[in-house]
Amino acid sequence: MRIATWNVNSITARLPRLLSWLESSDTDVLCLQEAKVAEEQFPFDPLRDLGYEAAVNATGRWNGVAVLSRVGLKEVVKGLPGDPGYDGVVEPRAISATCGPIRVWSVYVPNGREVDHPHYAYKLQWFESLKAAVAGDAGGSRPFAVMGDYNVAPTDDDVYDRSVFEGSTHVTPAERAALASLRESGLTDVVPRPLKYDHPYTYWDYRQLCFPKNRGMRIDLVYGNEPFAKSVTDSYVDREERKGKGASDHAPVVVDLDV
**Catalytic sites, residue numbers:** 108, 149, 250
Question: Cα–Cα distance between 91 and 58 in angstroms, integer?
Answer: 8
In this structure, are residues 143 and 257 in contact, taking their beta carbons and an 8 Å threshold? Answer: yes
The amino acid sitting at 2 is R
Q: Is 7 annotated as a binding residue?
A: yes
Q: Is 76 exposed, middle or buried (0-12, 13-18, 19+ CB in 10 A)?
A: middle
Q: Is 249 annotated as a binding residue?
A: yes
Q: Is 151 annotated as a binding residue?
A: yes
Backbone angles phi, psi at 172, to 5 degrees: -75, 155
Q: Is 149 annotated as a binding residue?
A: yes
Specify the DSSP class assigned to residue 72.
-
Residue 247, helix vs strand vs coil: coil
Alpha carbon 259 to its chain centroid, in Å, reads 21
Backbone angles phi, psi at 201, to 5 degrees: -65, 160
Closest Cα partner for 191 from 227, 156, 218?
218
Question: Cα–Cα distance between 186 and 181 in angstroms, integer?
Answer: 10
Question: Cα–Cα distance between 63 and 38 in angstroms, integer?
Answer: 10
Other Cβ atoms closer than 10 A to 90: 12
Binding site residue list for Mg(2+): 7, 34, 149, 151, 249-250
Binding site residue list: 7, 34, 149, 151, 249-250
